[in-house]
Amino acid sequence: MSAKTIVEKNFDFSCPAPLPAKDTILLGHGSGGKLSAELIRDIFLPAFQNPVLARLDDQAIVNVNGQRLAITTDSFVVKPLFFPGGDIGSLAVHGSVNDLAMGGATPLFLSAAFIIEEGFSIDELRRVVNSLRRAAAEAGVQVVTGDTKVVEKGKGDGLFINTTGIGLVPEGVDLSADRARPGDKVLLSGSIGDHGIAILAQREGLEFETQIQSDSAALHTLVADMLGVTSNVTPDMRCMRDPTRGGVSSTLNEIAERSRVGIELDESSLPIHEQVRGACELLGLDPLYVANEGKLIAIVAPEAADAVLQAMRRHPLGAEAQIIGSVKKENPGLVTMRTPFGTTRIVDMLAGDQLPRIC
Amino acid sequence: MKYLDEYRDHRIARALAAEIVQSTTRPWVLMEICGGQTHTIMRYGIDELLPREIELVHGPGCPVCVTPLETVDKAIALAMRREVTLVSYGDMLRVPGSRSDLFRAKALGADVRIAYSPIDAVKIAAANPDRKVVFLAIGFETTAPANAMAAWQARYKGISNFSMLVSHVLVPPAIRALMVSQTNRVQGFIAPGHVCTVMGCKEYEDLVRDFRVPIVVGGFEPVDILEAVLMLICQLEARQLGAGEARLENQYVRSVSYQGNLPAQQLVEEVFEIADQKWRGIGSIPRSGLRLRQEYAAFDANRVFDLGEITVDEPADCISAQVLQGLKKPPDCPAFGIRCTPENPLGAPMVSTEGACAAYYHYRRHTAAS
């Protein structure tokens, strides 16, 4: 490179100014990481501020005539539309059902809105709708209203679905991310990373010896079983979350921040399927940040942890459940991990999406 | 998982750590070259298992971190051209240039795509003859064969709408630059196992001889790193007692041979030639990089697009040069974690997760503060 000549061609390189103010939406704003949290904090919360929204849980819980109603909404933009273990239709049901279930609610009704790109195959739409219908029937929820919009070719990506769910919260159940206390146990219902890796493998045409299946499933019956063995008088069940976008790490970081506690994980207790581990090693990804669609994390009082764990393991969706860590007073707002070497490290929240490493 | 679990076995690791403690009688400063090794050390807390006398210094071997600002700026400028599809390894997309990054370019409408292999970029070019497809070909010797193969295939198949923006760096000249520095503190090196899988161990012989410094080619798992540290300590302590000369040793025998991967080396030699190279955070090092040979000029984005010479200076308050030479640790920097974070990095080592500062930030903030 010849010395320090600065030749400006089509662009101005000369001054290394700081990066510009954040004035553009990036894909990372939808990742469930720090960028998503910033968007909620800076744009949405100030606009709509109210005590229900301020809880920042997966669902809102409102009182209507003495009944506690849980409401949630979720949009599904997954690509590919069909993947091993599910499709956008079943996912649209499981996503909203699970967001209700994480509040302890019994899911009752769903809405379904379809945004379809001009030119989309009616046959594929029928397959998606049938899958959505089956998933709703299996979950015991009814799709009671809906909407259809068609956008011009090139203005959508085939098909997007939004579902809104409504459910009822039983008396005595009060779950929220701000209720974790030092000493509580962190329970995870099964292996992590299956959904994200299944989608990635399908999208990128990566082939493994055995196909990795998405874990997409409705978790409300598992939640009911777990709540069945905990005391309502001194609420032992503090909080439940399904670690979807951003994975286990983002979910636990949110809980640690909202409850102002530290969370310490035990690395050797994390259930991760061998194929998922292999795929993550190959791609340079950390399964703690990979999405799940059929797993839940529960923060449980220490005295109830074993009973809840046993209840989880008796349910088919919780057969591989583990206690993966505990809540601490040290390092409030941080998630740390005890390694098998006896050392600890931070499990950080990512800014945006996890990126495959170069080598 | 075979070839992984045994190298992450905490019993073996603790046994090695105990042996290191027993073998160490005085302070030693060791450097692991590769960012992947730094990542493992921080992730598993390997440095905490070592005796206080051993200081691990984190080398410049993070390919994403050392890619010059100019290259990132050029990639963004190319991506912003309407006719260009820019293809990159995933972790380059968040790397800030002087004003923006590829993610922001994408948000503004640039056609930026992630590939797992440079060959995918050639395929994209073949499938889209109306697009000018540019691959951002960065990395150490590890990625050079795959990048060379992409250029070779494009030339062989006559895919004229494919080109590469090349920013390739080489490890041995960087070690030489560190050793000749007046302020050098490093007494032994863990050489990068992936680089040596391609290049073999042989090119490290000169460094061992010229500087009488022990070099051990090491792997990337906790047990690999501890074993490499033990091999270095055994050499250093023995020499202290007057026994033996500095030697080149290979810990990563399951992957690295003395000669390396000869067909891969031949391909790299055919496509690339050695050139002076600027390293982000360090500066220019003579003959420390690769550029496309004249026969491949038609695939060199620098020539195809006439990007010109561009120089950009690093932010003055970044101490990365001192971090990368082991003169300071990341938490010693006043900007660490405050004005300099992985979201808004001031300098190279905060850029990628394998950079030393980012590794401290992601894994050690809780202990760095206390």
Which is higher by pLDDT, B186 or A32?
Answer: B186
pLDDT band at A12 (very low <50, low <70, confident <90, very high): very low
Whether B313 is in a domain gets the answer no
Same domain, B220 and B343: no
Q: What is the pLDDT of residue A359?
A: 55
Provide the mean pLDDT of chain B: 92
Q: Which chain A residue is nearest to residue B358, measuring alpha carbons?
A: A348
> Residue A177: how many CB atoms within 10 A of its CB?
23
Domains of chain A in start order, with CATH, are: 55-168 (3.30.1330.10), 185-346 (3.90.650.10)
Establish how many alpha carbons lie within 13 A of residue B219's alpha carbon, considering only the half-sphere containing its beta carbon. 18
Same domain, B166 and B69: yes
Same domain, B18 and B139: no
Whether B151 is in a domain gets the answer yes
Q: Which chain A residue is nearest to residue B340, measuring alpha carbons?
A: A18
Q: Helix %, strand %, coil % for chain A, to 5?
A: 35, 25, 45
Q: What is the pLDDT of residue A153?
A: 96
Whether B54 is in a domain gets the answer no
Out of B44, B314, B366, the one facing A336 most closely (by C-beta) is: B366
Chain A residues inside the 8 Å CB shell of B90: 355-358
Q: Which chain A residue is nearest to residue B61, measuring alpha carbons?
A: A359
- Taking only the tens place, the pLDDT of each residue in B228-282 is 999 999 999 999 888 889 999 999 999 999 999 999 999 999 999 999 999 988 8
Query: What is the spatial distance between Cα B125 and Cα A321, in angstroms, rounded to a whole number?
Result: 47
Mean pLDDT of B87-101: 88
Backbone CA torsion sign across A142, A64, A297, B352: positive
Query: Residues A284, A290, A291, CA angle at the centre, nearest 5°?
Result: 155
Task: Name the phi and psi angles at A337, rounded to 5.
Answer: -135, 130
pLDDT band at A22 (very low <50, low <70, confident <90, very high): low
| In chain A, % of residues over pLDDT 90 | 79
Whether B312 is in a domain gets the answer no
Task: Name the phi and psi angles at B183, rounded to 5.
Answer: -95, 10
Q: What is the pLDDT of residue B260?
A: 97
Least confident of A101-115, B309-323, B336-350: B309-323
Show the domain range for B225. 5-49+172-250
Is the pLDDT assigned to residue A283 strictly greater than 60?
yes
Same domain, B72 and B159: yes
**Record: contact B1-A11, CB cut-off 8 A:** no
Query: Residues B167, B170, B173, CA angle at the centre, nearest 5°?
Result: 130
Q: What is the pLDDT of residue A9?
A: 30
Query: What is the spatial distance between Cα B331 and Cα B335, in angstroms, rounded to a whole number?
Result: 9
CB A335 within 8 A of CB A246: no
Same domain, B209 and B241: yes
Same domain, B340 and B192: no
Whether B310 is in a domain gets the answer no
Q: Which chain B residue is nearest to residue A28, measuring alpha carbons?
A: B103
Whether B55 is in a domain gets the answer no
Same domain, B79 and B146: yes
Mean pLDDT of A253-279: 96
Least confident of A172-181, A222-231, B151-160, B359-368: B359-368
CA-CA-CA-CA dihedral for A247, A252, A254, A259, to nearest 10: 170
Mean pLDDT of A258-277: 96
pLDDT band at A116 (very low <50, low <70, confident <90, very high): very high
Among B250, B282, B312, identify where a domain stops: B250
Q: What is the pLDDT of residue A3?
A: 33
CA B59 to chain centre: 9
Among B223, B250, B277, identify where a domain stops: B250
Same domain, B347 and B277: no
Same domain, B82 and B165: yes
Nearest to A33, CA basis, from A352, A320, A282, A248? A352
Query: Residues B86, B92, B96, CA angle at the centre, nearest 5°?
Result: 105
Chain A residues inside the 8 Å CB shell of B64: 358
Q: What is the pLDDT of residue B368?
A: 54
Query: What is the spatial distance between Cα A105 and Cα A269, in angstroms, rounded to a whole number?
Result: 29
Query: Residues B222, B225, B226, CA angle at the centre, nearest 5°?
Result: 85
**Record: contact B114-A355, CB cut-off 8 A:** yes
Chain A residues inside the 8 Å CB shell of B46: 341, 343
Out of B43, B70, B143, the one facing A359 most closely (by C-beta) is: B143
Top residue of B66, B89, B197 to mutate, by most chain A CBs within 10 Å, is B89
Whether B240 is in a domain gets the answer yes
Look-up of token digits 């302070």: B27
**Record: contact A28-B103, CB cut-off 8 A:** yes
Chain A residues inside the 8 Å CB shell of B42: 345
CATH number (domain holding residue B186):
3.40.50.11750
Mean pLDDT of B301-305: 94
Q: Which chain B residue is nearest to residue A339, measuring alpha carbons?
A: B44
Chain A residues inside the 8 Å CB shell of B306: 9
Out of A7, A339, A346, the one facing B308 most closely (by C-beta) is: A7
> Residue B54: how many CB atoms within 10 A of its CB?
21
- Taking only the tens place, the pLDDT of each residue in A155-211 is 999 999 999 999 999 988 999 999 999 999 999 999 999 999 999 988 888 777 778
Same domain, B123 and B265: yes
> Residue A306: how many CB atoms within 10 A of its CB?
13
**Record: contact B43-A204, CB cut-off 8 A:** no
Same domain, B74 and B152: yes
Same domain, B237 and B271: no
Backbone CA torsion sign across A286, A289, A291, A297: positive
Mean pLDDT of A100-111: 97
Whether B81 is in a domain gets the answer yes
Number of domains forming the structure of chain B: 3
Look-up of token digits 């999405």: A291
Q: What is the number of CB-based contacts under 8 A between chain A and chain B?
A: 149
**Record: contact A357-B91, CB cut-off 8 A:** yes
Cis? peptide before B129, omega within 30° of 0: no
pTM, two decimal places: 0.88
**Record: contact B314-A16, CB cut-off 8 A:** yes
**Record: contact A13-B363, CB cut-off 8 A:** no
Q: What is the pLDDT of residue B324?
A: 76
Out of B108, B138, B352, the one facing A24 most closely (by C-beta) is: B108
Q: Return residues 34-93 of B near A (CB < 8 Å).
A: 36, 42-46, 48-49, 63-64, 69-70, 73, 77, 89-93
Q: Which chain A residue is nearest to residue B339, measuring alpha carbons?
A: A18
